[in-house]
Amino acid sequence: MHRTVAAAFLILAVTVPLSFAADKQQFSAAIAAVDANLKTPEGKKYEEQMNTEFPQKFLPAFRQCKQSAGSSSGLDMFLKLSAGGKVQEALIHPENPFTTCARAAVAGGQLSAPPHDDYWINIHLQ
């Protein structure tokens, strides 16, 4: 399976842009891109960086979403980043009320610049 950026907190997640559920082909393509990225030294280094950076940037907003939408089970979130680190697209599974709130939290969010443009990362939250 694919490696994931893991968070040890009970939060869930996000889809950008505001859109309907992703199809299996979109998820398959995102998973393949994440796997390819993680096979490079740069990808492994970026994953380590995201283990710290992503929770620091989005945990407060996700906690607010959890309070307003209630609790739900874990999820996988796939984010496509621009060369500058801006969130361009996000896919999540499963979709639920929490993710509707969290979607707004990451929409247009900014992370550190990835190794290249159109760079996919996977965030696994439990």
What pLDDT shows up at residue 10?
Answer: 29
**How many whole angstroms separate alpha carbon 76 and alpha carbon 70?**
18
29-43, 54-68, 86-100, 105-119, range with the lowest pLDDT:
86-100
| Of 80 and 106, more confident | 80
**How many whole angstroms separate alpha carbon 100 and alpha carbon 75?**
13
Position 95, amino acid: E
Average pLDDT along the chain? 81
Strand-by-strand arrangement of the 87-93 sheet: 5-7, 119-125, 75-81, 87-93
What pLDDT shows up at residue 118?
Answer: 97
Mean pLDDT of 29-45: 97
> Which two tokens mark 78?
């796939």
**Model confidence, pTM:** 0.79
